[in-house]
Structure 1
């Protein structure tokens, strides 16, 4: 029987149309293998076979044009044929945020925004303008993709404040918040903070981006954080994702999803939730 997949975190590139500064060789990140993904990537490159069918996806902003983020959405909506939703770039510091969101809201695929927080997470999330802009997202019933290290306790508590204040705001943590890989003190903080986050029912978590921490990652290594987040959040708030095309720095797209299905020892019902149902719900693909 064919298993449908909704991939809730991937990127398509049109290098001839967009900026993509982070993919240029003279701009960070300075990965020696970055050139292998610095190319045009379209819907046709999302190939699944062997009992897996890509029934939809969520495109996460990829630096096409951060000043005019609707340009990336217009390109996607003019070229993509599969069922999809988009998470646009938007600046949480911006005093023009509401106007940007009004423009983006006219695009039918837009369900939310991302401002990459990373190591600036605490400064951004505690800024007064950020609170005002989250109120805009809440009013518009849109989502926020939060990319930052969950071992950052200060940032976690700021995010919880926003989640509790804005009940319509769906917050989805990207890349599992960079879970434990090294046995350091940050690992304990990640585990503690995952427990803090679980009390906010409008916060979900996506597991992907393993290649960004370790190009040689194994499915065995990610079983532990997967079980931890399922135990903590409950299975309806957990999603498996690819981070395509970055995932191909470690393994092909098909191999990734085959491994998720066969190597993580998930029941058929649980895999259905993590690989399809939850993404369709949290990103409004239904």
Structure 2
């Protein structure tokens, strides 16, 4: 039986020096400007009954990919690593082949949300690199926002055999006014992506998109997120939704246990098998962990 899996969390060590987005000058990031690793995560996961986790890259370097794989060797709860290679370069094929020799290496994630061209994945990715991702049986994590969804859809259309999962539900603009064009982009883009049966979505990263006044309590946060989650359930269903903590970025909005309680409230209308898929089965199937579907 597949137990709970955290489908999206991060470890980092500041002394490595390649986290360009995480700087001491960014006041809003000060709470997470420190090292995070197994010793911090283990008690949080155990309290929530989470048995395994997927580590996801937070720096656009191959050195960090190796760092995460090394962490997985030391932390037995790590069941997979989503790393980074330069998908714009044909030279990355050798890197992909090398990393794929480690069974913990499950996939790649370009940091699309941080790139200046919203169409980067279709205009800059190299065919040889994408072909190698597919040939090696790897997965693609899409770190995108609503403005990237049209390009991501073209990429998915062009690569139907590549397993894709949308990180953080493409970060819907939950703090924006009702007439913000990102709402229409998100609704149209996510609906279109969900029509591809091999595309999955992570139920993660949503608390940090909510304004502070809408996440004062787990009840308030669940009420604010429920319309979004109901749309995701309608589009993807439990078989293609995978829960993740997005820890420690999560802690900019709320503690780990807070998100866990919000999750319980958001999924309270589902039966046991459906909850099991979202809380572990989908991640196990998507990343090829422990035998697949729950």
1:153–1:208 CA distance, 2 compared to 1 (3 A): closer
For the residue of structure 2 that corresponds to 1:226, the secondary structure is: helix
Give how far 1:171 is off.
0.5
Structure 2 equivalent of residue 76 of structure 1: 71
Q: What is aligned with 2:8?
A: 9
Q: CA deviation at 1:24?
A: 1.9
Shift of 1:91: 1.6
Distance 2:67 2:269 in 1: 36
Structure 1 residue ranges without an equivalent (≥5): none
- For residue 250 of structure 1, report the CA deviation from its aligned partner: 1.5
Question: Aligned partners of 2:147, 2:125: CA distance in 1, in Å?
Answer: 24
- Tell me which residue corresponds to 1:126: 122
Conservation of the 8 A alpha-carbon contact between 2:139 and 2:164: yes
CA contact (8 A) 1:219 1:264 kept: no
* SS of residue paired to 2:134: helix
Deviation readout 1:255-283 (Å, 9 max, x if unpaired): 21122113543324222211111111111
Q: 1:121/1:54 Cα in 2 relative to 1: closer, same or farther (>3 Å)?
A: farther
In the TM superposition, what are the counterparts of 1:53-202 in structure 2 within 5 Å? 53-63=49-59, 66-118=61-113, 120=116, 122-127=118-123, 129-164=125-160, 167=161, 169-181=162-174, 182=176, 183=178, 184-202=180-198
TM-score normalised by length of structure 1: 0.87
Find the residue that maps to 1:209 and give its secondary structure. coil
Provide the rounded CA distance (Å) in 1 between the counterparts of 2:117 and 2:80.
Answer: 25
CA contact (8 A) 2:144 2:171 kept: yes
How far apart are the structure 2 equivalents of 1:185 and 1:22?
A: 26
1:150–1:156 Cα contact (<8 Å) kept? no
Alpha-carbon distance, 1:209 to partner? 1.5
Residue 129 of structure 1: how far off its partner (Å): 4.0
Aligned residue for 1:84, secondary structure, equals strand
Cα distance in 2 for partners of 1:266, 1:51 equals: 23
- Measured on the aligned residues, the alpha-carbon RMSD in Å equals 2.4
SS of the residue corresponding to residue 16 of structure 1 reads helix
Are the equivalent residues in 2 in contact too, given 1:143–1:171 (CA < 8 A)? yes
What residue number does 2:199 align with?
Answer: 203
Q: Secondary structure at the match of 2:50?
A: strand
* Cα displacement string for residues 9-67 of structure 1 (whole angstroms, at most 9, x for unaligned residues): 100122234532322224xxx3x23121111211232234797311101000122x704
Return closer, same or farther for 1:240/1:67 CA change in 2, 3 Å cut-off. Answer: closer
1:258 corresponds to? 261
Do the aligned partners of residues 129 and 272 (structure 1) sit closer, same or farther apart at CA in structure 2, a change above 3 Å counting?
A: closer
Residue number in structure 2 paired with 1:23: 22
Residue deviations 1:82-133 (CA, integer Å, cap 9, x gap): 1421001112212211011012112221000100111546432222643332
Gaps of 5+ in 2: 216-220
Normalising by structure 2, we get a TM-score of 0.85
